[in-house]
Amino acid sequence: MTDDRKITITPYKGPAGGYGSLKSVAQVLVAEKVRPTSAAQLLRQNKPDGFICTSCAWGKPATPHPFEFCENGAKATAWDLTTERAGTEFFAAHTLTELESWSDYELEKAGRLTEPLRFNPATDRYEPVDWETAFTEIGARLKALQSDADQTVFYASGRASLEASFMYQLLARIYGTNNLPDSSNMCHESTSVALPESIGVAVGTVSLQDFEQTDLLLHFAHNPGTSTPRLLHQLQDARRRGVPLIAFNPLRERALERFTNPQSPGQMLTLDETRMSSAIHPVKNGGDIAALTGICKALIAMDDLARDAGQAGPTDREGLLDSTENDAGFSIKAAAAGKTSRNILDHDFIAEHTDGFEAFAAHCRAADWEAIEQISGLKRPALEDVAALYATSDRVMALYGMGLTQHVGGVENVQMLVNLLLLRGNIGKAGAGICAIRGHSNVQGQRTVGITEKPELAPLDMLKERYDFEPPRHQGLATVQACEKMITGEVKAFVALGGNLLRAAPDQPRVEAAWRGLDLTVSIATKLNRSHVLHGTCAYLLPCLVRSEIDAQASGPQTVTVESSLAHFHGSRGGVKPASGTLMSEPAIVAGLAQATLAANPATPWAAWTGDYRRVRAEIEAVWPATFQGLENDMLMPGGLVRPVAARERKWNTRSGKANFIKPTHLFAGDVESLDDPDILQLITLRSNDQFNTTVYGYRDRFRGVSGTRMVVFMSKADIAARGMKDGDRVDLQTASRDGIERIVRGFRIVAYDLPAGVAGAYFPEANPLVPLGHHDRKAHTPAYKAIPVKVTPAVAGADTAVGDAN
């Protein structure tokens, strides 16, 4: 499709939030032609009696703000409640070959899917099919593959409710596979691997109340203004109390600099912007392990100094601290002078609760400042300053997002952050803790109810006993491995509970080619995307309700539940009439697939479960009693049901029985071999303020001042000059891969941007063809989307631009 968007690139001068935010909400309500009655649903968003926003997973306060939604939550709801429809006429008018040339934006913009569809090879179109036929045919095809059940993959994107997710994992396991990859494999999987080793839980340890008691907020690798705007309420309140917020981010994200609360009329009128960060440290991407090592090293040096000073009189202080000429040196001395060693590091906590301190401390003492500075891009005095502030703060919280998890050393990034917290006992006390800011609104909950490829994380014995089947005990496929096995031809069928794997996953052209070779693709979805337009030999598109719609079943309107980033379970009730009378709910579709695929079994009454979701919640509570006790009663209470998190109580469910200091293996979290090549930039793939993952709402990244295009590459002035290029030039990006596969995306426009030399940024998903499938975290296999080694070359004239953008 042609495109006549006007491109403007101008620095944004306003704060995050503010009038720009309100204007943006109004624009999307109009653009999506949302009915006024539906727009009123925004007032019910994230309230105890309302529905839980599908945008992010941030906590829902017990006493909500009058408008407990943000610009992007409103966009997500408007996108769902649009009056646009991709119905029979739409699919009659467009062949799938034609739709392949449409952008992500255009595909979803077509509107809500209205009826089940089946691919017809004779017409190259999706055509309507009734639900019963669709289920029966899919069931027959799945049964044909069941003798080797690992040929089928059951993918889930983190939006589906606990009820739908529970039923889905049970379907997969009774079918015979643990192939339950989740969007989480591309997201916080590094957290799910790192935290259990470090502190014995897979989720963060903080609650909303902790924000009211904290003395210092360390904020890493996350963009709150776009990704989690409701978090700005907590950050702003803390800033108002004078709590320092220290951010580490290669980009000076606008919300970290300034925020005006669009829901606080007083503040809007006076334009009193809260200065968000006390400092933003422009760490290079992949440089957080180095930065954190520097902070820990300085802290340990202070502790050594104080201990020596407290013992045999004057000691060689200068030897321990040879940077006395700078401010940071003095502040460290000042901090050290007033303290005993006991209260620089929390030695009582370390002795009673941790393991591995000595080895970790030795590792930090031995670390080389020059390497730390080079890899982090930050100066020693800056890191010593953070250490001094940290040493004088009693209650410290560390928050983080994708800039830590999506790296080759993603697990080590997270574990380093925990190491820092453990040095001063900042886990398991009020106002302190680790906060993994989750993405999809129920991604954490899906893992809690058994969507996992790792058999050891599912209560298989309990499932066996309760549902009378033999669960598969071997490892299933995570997302990257599922893509690899599609490429080798070992995977033949793919069922997706939401999501858009082809745009979200690495190595797009290779995965797309493999996808076309599948025997069967089944997508449960709300809107059309590339993973539907491209398809297997047999393909079905099963349209479902969205969370804000009324879900009426045999026993009446239903409630579903989700888990927030802060490990609270909340009930959610839709209030809007469904987009079409033919839609089914996700639990009903999963039940339909299960009934058509699996042998009848009185222990799994799929139809009765669908008729009344309370019965599904009763099953969830029976399978995980310690986690879900009281769910039915508390889910609609203000604050929801609080999930017990052992580390909050300083109970450490680790192998050592303690919280573990874990040494990193490298200072750089990216591809170590690409580090020294001056031609290589480390590319971050980013979200714009006008998208939700692969859902592109529009072409306006307000905070970064880019409008009309998404095909930009943000580069530092130094890197632009070093290549003899200039702002606005057209360039191609090529991955510096070592596997012989050429990965190029053409036609980016250079935007000169304030970021450290060596770092570049481009938007996800347009840049995904640049990410090799093998470029992932060493342990968690999370794709390393935040440091892709690339080379920038002048654009080849006339060459095709990337899929999804016609500029």
Ligand X SMILES: Nc1nc2c(c(=O)[nH]1)N[C@H]1C(S)=C(S)[C@@H](COP(=O)(O)OP(=O)(O)OC[C@H]3O[C@@H](n4cnc5c(=O)[nH]c(N)nc54)[C@H](O)[C@@H]3O)O[C@H]1N2
Tell how far CA 319 is from the center of its chain: 43
Q: Which of 151, 214, 223, 660 binds ligand X (CB under 6 A)?
A: 223
- # chain residues binding ligand X, by CB under 6 A: 63
Q: Which of 231, 378, 451, 525 binds ligand X (CB under 6 A)?
A: 525
What's the DSSP call for residue 768? G
Q: How near is the Cβ of 84 to ligand X at its closest, in Å?
A: 14
**Which amino acid, residue 86?**
A
**CB count in 10 Å sphere of residue 485:** 18
Q: Which of 24, 207, 444, 529 binds ligand X (CB under 6 A)?
A: 529
**Contact pattern from residue 377 through residue 406 relative to ligand X, giving x for each residue in contact according to CB under 6 A and a dash for the rest:** ------------------------xxx--x
Q: Is 339 left (phi over 0), alpha (psi -120 to 50) or beta?
A: beta
Distance CA 758, CA 514 (A): 34
Q: Note whether 56 and 233 are within 8 A (CB).
A: no
Name the residue nearer to Mo ion (CB basis): 439 or 506.
Answer: 439
Q: How near is the Cβ of 116 to ligand X at its closest, in Å?
A: 13
- Cis before residue 543, ω within 30 degrees of 0? no
Q: Which of 39, 117, 187, 497 binds Mo ion (CB under 5 A)?
A: 187
Name the residue nearer to Mo ion (CB basis): 24 or 227.
Answer: 227
Piece of 103-111, 436-444, 500-508, 660-668 that binds Mo ion (CB under 5 A) = 436-444
Distance CA 142, CA 598 (A): 9
Residue 225 binds ligand X (CB under 6 A):
no
Interaction partner, residue 768 (ligand X, Mo ion, none; CB < 5-8 Å by kind): ligand X
Q: Which of 420, 501, 591, 635 binds ligand X (CB under 6 A)?
A: 501
Interaction partner, residue 285 (ligand X, Mo ion, none; CB < 5-8 Å by kind): ligand X
Distance CA 69, CA 225 (A): 13
Residue 548 binds ligand X (CB under 6 A):
no
SS3 152: strand
Q: Which of 51, 69, 248, 357 binds ligand X (CB under 6 A)?
A: 248
Piece of 95-103, 154-162, 262-270, 795-803 that binds ligand X (CB under 6 A) = 154-162
Residue 187 binds ligand X (CB under 6 A):
yes
Q: How near is the Cβ of 769 to Mo ion at its closest, in Å?
A: 19
Query: Hey, which residues does 9 pair with through a beta bridge?
Result: 706
Interaction partner, residue 403 (Mo ion, ligand X, none; CB < 5-8 Å by kind): ligand X
Q: Which of 32, 68, 108, 551 binds ligand X (CB under 6 A)?
A: 108
Give me the residue label for tokens 């030695």. Answer: 347
CA pseudo-torsion sign 640, 644, 647, 653: negative
Strands (E), 357-437: 396-400, 433-436
Q: Note whether 112 and 79 are within 8 A (CB).
A: no
Q: Which of residues 426-455 bind ligand X (CB under 6 A)?
A: 439-440
Q: Note whether 162 and 561 are within 8 A (CB).
A: yes
Name the residue nearer to Mo ion (CB basis): 189 or 308.
Answer: 189
**Which amino acid, residue 134?**
A
Residue 780 binds Mo ion (CB under 5 A):
no
Q: How near is the Cβ of 357 to ligand X at its closest, in Å?
A: 25
State both tokens at 220.
């890493």
Name the residue nearer to ligand X (CB basis): 114 or 323.
Answer: 114
Q: Which of 694, 707, 716, 737 binds ligand X (CB under 6 A)?
A: 694
Residue 687 binds ligand X (CB under 6 A):
yes
Residue 195 binds ligand X (CB under 6 A):
no
Give me the residue label for tokens 């508390």. Answer: 634
Q: Note whether 557 and 585 are within 8 A (CB).
A: no
Q: How near is the Cβ of 236 to ligand X at its closest, in Å?
A: 17
Q: How near is the Cβ of 446 to ligand X at its closest, in Å?
A: 11
State both tokens at 77.
């709801």
**Which amino acid, residue 283?**
V
Burial group, residue 669, by CB count within 10 angstroms (0-12, 13-18, 19+)? buried
Interaction partner, residue 329 (ligand X, Mo ion, none; CB < 5-8 Å by kind): none
Name the residue nearer to ligand X (CB basis): 636 or 669.
Answer: 669
Residue 203 binds ligand X (CB under 6 A):
no
Q: Which of 356, 439, 472, 506 binds Mo ion (CB under 5 A)?
A: 439
Residue 251 binds ligand X (CB under 6 A):
yes
Q: Note whether 565 and 444 are within 8 A (CB).
A: yes
Strands (E), 1-131: 8-9, 16-17, 85-86, 112-113, 117-120, 125-128
Q: Which residues of 370-391 are buried (b: 16+ CB within 10 A; e: fewer)?
A: eebbbbbbbbbbbbbbbbbbbb
Strands (E), 402-463: 433-436
Binding site for Mo ion (CB under 5 A): 187, 439
Binding site for ligand X (CB under 6 A): 54-56, 72, 108, 157, 159-160, 183, 186-187, 220-223, 226-228, 248-251, 253, 283, 285-286, 288, 401-403, 406, 439-440, 497-501, 504, 524-527, 529, 544, 546, 586, 684-687, 691-695, 764-765, 767-768, 771, 785-786
